[in-house]
Every structure is written in C-alpha cells, then in structure tokens.
A = this chain, B = another copy of it.
Amino acid sequence: MTDARHDMRSAPKTWNRSLEEEPLESVVGRLLRGQGKTLATAESCTGGYLGKFLTDLPGSSDFYQGGIISYSNALKIRHLEVSPAALDRWGAVSEPVACQMARGVRNWSGADLGISVTGIAGPSGGSPEKPVGLVYLGLSDSVETRARELLLEGDREAIRLRACRIALDWIRRHLT
C-alpha cells in the first residue's frame, strides 16, 4: 500500500519534471530543426506573444523566420491576403480569416509552415455569438490549411498565454 502510494506520487512528479526540462517551444524548435522546416507567425490577439515564446530560446533563427503582428484589419488585408469579403461576412475572429492569415504569412515569408492566432482576449469586445475567450488558430503548409476553434477561460493574459501554448502544441503534433 505504501509502495503503491509512493509509485502514484512519483509518477506524475517525473512527468512534470520532464515537461519542465523541455518547454513546448523547445520541442517545436527541435522538431522543426530536425525536419529542416521553417515557421512564420501571423498574430492578432496575441500581439507578438507567440513570436516571443518562439524566440525565448537561443538559436531559434534556425527555424523561426519571423512574422506579422496584424493587430489592425488594414494590415490583415494589405499584407496577409485576408479578403475584405471574409472580414465583412465572418469577422476578423473567424475560421476563414484564421486560415487566410496562416496561408498569407506563409506566402509573405516563404516559410514552410504558417501559424495564425485571431481571437477576443477581452475584457471587452465580446458578444453572445463571439464571447471573450473565443480564439481561432490557423495552420498552413504546402499541402493544406486548417483552422481550430478554441473557447478559453481566464483573464486577458491567461487567454493570450493559453492561445500561444495551444498553438505551439498544435505545431508539435503536426510535426510528429
């Protein structure tokens, strides 16, 4: 009984330790580097936070080319090939716009992978249809472009942080 309890306690501890030892952005970097692939980011609600994570570790220029912080819709249209029709019909926080941003930043940068984040980080700006915490991610490579819808809890910082971590984890799973 004591042994079993000890096992149960030590197992998650080891798991936590190994996660602490290699942050998600480091795993993503290792996978991209190993596959000789490059990445670019298109960020709206996270405003550069995802790029900051990707460049936390030295040597990230091996795989991270950079990206666009498209906080205004004008920049999304002008530089990310987001269509005014999509913005009118679905709004900036939508699956089609997340896809266009991810594809757009891949074309803009020449990177192999494009990842995008667009959402409502709050505290204001929410509506019954699009509440605070609604975030769309887009992921684009040479084969296809997909989007994911997230509904995140917490304050502005927590929503932005979680959006970044889920985006990094999506890239990780896409590469494995």
Task: Give me the interface of A with B, judged by CB distance under 8 Å.
Answer: 41, 43, 45-52, 54-56, 58-61, 64-72, 74-75, 79, 108-110, 121-125, 156-157, 160
Contact = CB atoms under 8 A, between A and B. Distances in A.
B61 A71 contact: yes
Nearest to A54: B47
Given A46-B52, A108-B79, A69 B67 contact: yes
- For the residues of A in contact with B, the DSSP-based class is mixed
A58 B71 CA distance: 12
Contacts of A156: 56, 58
Given A52-B52, A66-B68, A66-B75, 19 more contacts: A41-B69, A43-B51, A47-B48, A47-B51, A48-B50, A48-B52, A48-B54, A48-B69, A59-B124, A65-B71, A65-B72, A65-B75, A66-B70, A67-B68, A67-B69, A68-B69, A69-B69, A74-B110, A79-B79
Contact of A48 (B45, B55, B157): B55
Given A51-B47, A69-B41, A58 B157 contact: no
B69 A47 contact: no
Nearest to A49: B52
Given A48-B51, A51-B48, A157 B56 contact: yes
Contacts of A58: 121-125, 156
